[in-house]
Amino acid sequence: MDLSFDSSITAKVVKAVAEFDLISDGDRLAVGLSGGKDSTFMLMILKIFKEHFKKDFELKAVHVDPGFKDSTAAEIKKFCNQLNIDLKIIETKIADYITKADAENPCSKCAHFRKGAIINYLNKNGFNKLAFGHHLDDAVETFLMSIFYSGQLKTLQPKRFLSNSGVEIIRPLIYLRENIIIKEIQKRKIKIKKSSCPYDGNSVRSQVRKDFANYFNDQQLFSNLISAMRDSDNRELWPENEEFQLLKTKMKKYWQKKGGK
């Protein structure tokens, strides 16, 4: 398999790794390999880094099989064999749970359970880092989702330490645009099997992606969104909500008639 990438691509990944201190000597690093284009691409990149980085780290692929009938496990095994990367497949019955008629938010629940299954495996086997294939478009989408659906300024972090498990989540592709990843996958004629999940494409993220597709193609607008995600002293936001009783007391002063009556 061709593992040669344009230097502009590897440079962006190295930039993320260096800027956010994502990989260190002695790391036991697992890649959350879903079988989709993003995690597939990331595994190839990290395979290159494993062979050429000055940092010495262990690399393993971990796939959580949710239990849908049309599994991608066979394709994932073949791909990891081509890269000569050790693979662990965790079989679960997540599909049985999220397809129940009364199950709400199936996508978020599935993601929660899959992450939990991987973290549990990493804890039992001494891995300290978990790499996810989220890219720059994912980060901007998350930023918009957070504003629209929770009223908060939040986005995907390049790295996040999970104190309850001791595992650190890292996102080495955080500076790469999605179209670059698609182009590289297609150039190598890697077949990405469509998800067998019946809810695929029906998530809030998918809707935001559709609604803002044209805006994401506007390079200046997209760059502005990226800038807005950064901590800055130039923000002119409202202050935090004032404590209700204090605010109520202050409001009464404005309605109080002259002379105290």
Question: Of the given ranges (29-38, 45-54, 71-80, 148-157), which has the lowest mean pLDDT?
Answer: 71-80
pLDDT of res. 13: 95
Report the C-alpha gap between 117 and 89 in whole angstroms: 11
Bridge-based pairing of strands 28-32 and 167-170 is: unpaired
Q: CB–CB of 68/80 below 8 Å?
A: no
Q: Are 83 and 44 in contact (CB under 8 A)?
A: yes
pLDDT at 1 over 80: no
Alpha-carbon gap, residue 121 to 119, rounded angstroms: 5
pLDDT at position 256 over 70: no
Question: Mean pLDDT over residues 181-198, rounded?
Answer: 84
Alpha-carbon span 89 to 172, nearest angstrom: 22
Three-state secondary structure call for residue 220? helix
Is residue 23 over pLDDT 70? yes
Sign of CA dihedral 67, 116, 35, 86: negative
127: Cβ–Cβ under 8 A, 6 or more apart, which residues? 28, 29, 30, 58, 60, 121, 167
Over residues 48-90, the pLDDT tens digits come to 999 998 899 999 999 988 767 767 888 899 999 999 999 999 9
Q: Phi/psi of residue 103, each to 5°?
A: -75, 125
Give the highest mean pLDDT range of 33-37, 123-127, 186-190.
123-127
Cβ neighbours of 127 (radius 10 Å): 21
Of residues 151 and 202, the one with the higher pLDDT is 151
Cβ-based neighbours of 46, under 8 Å, separated by 6 or more: 29, 31, 59, 131, 172
**How many angstroms separate the Cα of 182 from the Cα of each of 105, 158, 186?**
28, 21, 6
What does the alpha-carbon distance between residue 240 and residue 59 come to, in Å, rounded to a whole number?
Answer: 44
Label residue 258 by pLDDT band (50, 70, 90).
Answer: low
Q: How confident is the model at residue 105 (pLDDT cuts 50, 70, 90)?
A: low
Query: pLDDT at residue 233 above 70?
Result: yes
Mean pLDDT score of the chain: 88
What's the pLDDT at 93? 76
DSSP tag of 136: H
Question: Using 50, 70 and 90 to split pLDDT, how confident is the model at 208?
Answer: confident
